[in-house]
Amino acid sequence: MEVVASLDIRPGNVAVSKTGRVFATIHILTPDGKLSNLIQDERLQWPDNVDLSSDGWIYISVNQLNTTPAFTGAGDEGKPPYYIYRFRRVGKK
């Protein structure tokens, strides 16, 4: 996985492949209803949006929503930069 963008604002969730697979941030829901883990990484602090590129890359924005007052009960603890990552599925191009 590599950083594609480093932002000073929070990027703000679902992408569907041509074969009908639904990518919901870090999980895949196949057309037959099986849910599997797409990626797990400690850098994914509240992954939010996901997009599939035509050249096989999967992009995920990380907005640290878990650090906002709604979750902390205090002030906003989010700290820029907020990242957009990209990676390829293992065994896929």
What confidence tens digit (pLDDT) does each residue in 21-50 have? 666 567 777 788 777 778 878 788 788 888
More confident residue, 8 or 69: 69
CATH for 47: 2.40.10
Note whether 87 and 39 are within 8 A (CB): yes
In a domain, 92, yes or no: no
Q: Report the C-alpha gap between 16 and 28 in whole angstroms.
A: 10
Query: Total domain count for the chain?
Result: 1
**How large is the average pLDDT for residues 62-82?**
88
Domain span holding position 33: 2-87
Tell whether 93 is covered by a domain: no
What percent of the residues of the chain are helix, what percent strand, and what percent coil, each to the nearest 5?
10, 40, 55
Q: Is-above-0.75 flag for pTM? A: no
